[in-house]
Amino acid sequence: MNTRNQLLCAWCGVAFAILFTLGFWPLSHFMPPPSPNASALDVATMYREHTNQIRLGLLVMMGASGCILPFAAVISAQMKRMEDGPSVLSYLQLASGALGVVFFIMPCLLWSIAAFRPERDAELIQLMNDAGWMVFLMPFTTFMVQNIAIGLAVLGDRSTQPVFPRWVAYLNFWVAVLFLPGGLLTFFKTGPFAWNGLFAFWVPFVVFFTWYVVMFALLRKGIIAQAQPAGAR
């Protein structure tokens, strides 16, 4: 049943959530996100004044992002129990979950490049800052696919003791929908749809971490239930 390994992977999700927030918030000064409307000079000043703090914070964020992988893996492991035959949805979740890690690591690298030579021209620093934020918040596709795959698997679970309760499917569909507005940050420098706005940042941020917490609780329950001998359920 591999219970210990699965639980380890599930706890990685918690580790990711805590460590990433630590790097993002107190360390990197990215909370609240700098405005896309800020001048190049303002952006450069931020990188110049907090250089090492930002570099460290980004390092922590990047390391934390690695923990997304085991979490995605254990979700697929549990999803396989829901699917009959070739577990295509589990593969889909694994693929999209793994790909999603890129959109956490890449921004850290891009922002690190911005912080690497703070004496650079302000416009260049702004360019790398823009790149980081857009790579971080704009890609909604892989996350939507991941959530929809989970939702479909939960709905298709025909076992007598379903792995997850059915409302989890609808939670995942809802989360998928909430990631959508992020893609539109490409049009806006101010307002609720800009990368520091209500719908492009705050809502996905809250929803994403809430999803982690909920999924973790469910996974733990599912993994432990799986470990019970069949008669004891």
Partner 1 sequence: MGVPQVAASRGGRIPGEAGVWFFILGDMVMFGLFFTVFVYYRAADVELFAAAQHSLNQTYGALNTLLLLTSSWFVVHAVESARGDHAPRARALLACAFLCGLGFLVVKYFEYGEKIRAGLTITSNDFFMYYYMLTGIHLLHVTLGMGVLAYLWQRLRGGTQLGAHMSALESGASFWHMVDILWIVLFALVYLMR
8 A C-beta contact, residue 164 and residue 154: yes
Q: How far is the CB of 172 from partner 1 (least distance, A)?
A: 9
Q: Which of these segments, 61-69, 123-131, 179-187, 216-224, binds partner 1 (CB under 8 A)?
A: 179-187
Q: Does 156 bind partner 1 (CB under 8 A)?
A: no
CA 226 from chain center: how many Å?
A: 26
**Does 82 interact with partner 1 (rule: CB under 8 A)?**
no
Please report, for residues 78, 101, 134, 163, the alpha-carbon distance to residue 98 in angstroms, rounded to integers and kept in the order given: 16, 5, 19, 22
**Interface pick for partner 1 out of 104, 140, 173, 179 (rule CB under 8 A):** 173
Q: Quick one: 100 or 204, whose CB is closer to partner 1? A: 204
Q: Looking at 39-47, 62-70, 86-94, 187-195, which segment touches partner 1 (CB under 8 A)? A: 187-195
Looking at the Cβ atoms of 91 and 202, the one nearer to partner 1 is: 202
Query: What is the spatial distance between Cα 39 and Cα 62, in angstroms, rounded to a whole number?
Result: 27
Min separation Cβ 168 and partner 1, Å = 8
Q: Check residue 170 and give left, alpha or beta (phi > 0: left; psi -120 to 50: alpha).
A: alpha
Q: Is 198 in the site for partner 1 (CB under 8 A)?
A: yes
CB of 191 to partner 1, least distance (A): 7
At its nearest, how many Å lie between partner 1 and the CB of residue 64? 27
Distances (CA, A) of 97 to 40, 47, 103, 218: 34, 31, 10, 17
Among 119, 187, 230, 231, binds partner 1 (CB under 8 A): 187
What does the alpha-carbon distance between residue 130 and residue 114 come to, in Å, rounded to a whole number?
Answer: 10
How many other CB atoms sit within 10 Å of the CB of residue 140?
20
Size of the site for partner 1 (CB under 8 A): 22
First-to-last alpha carbon distance for the chain, in angstroms, is 15
**Which of 34, 63, 183, 191 contacts partner 1 by CB under 8 A?**
191
181 touches partner 1 (CB under 8 A): yes
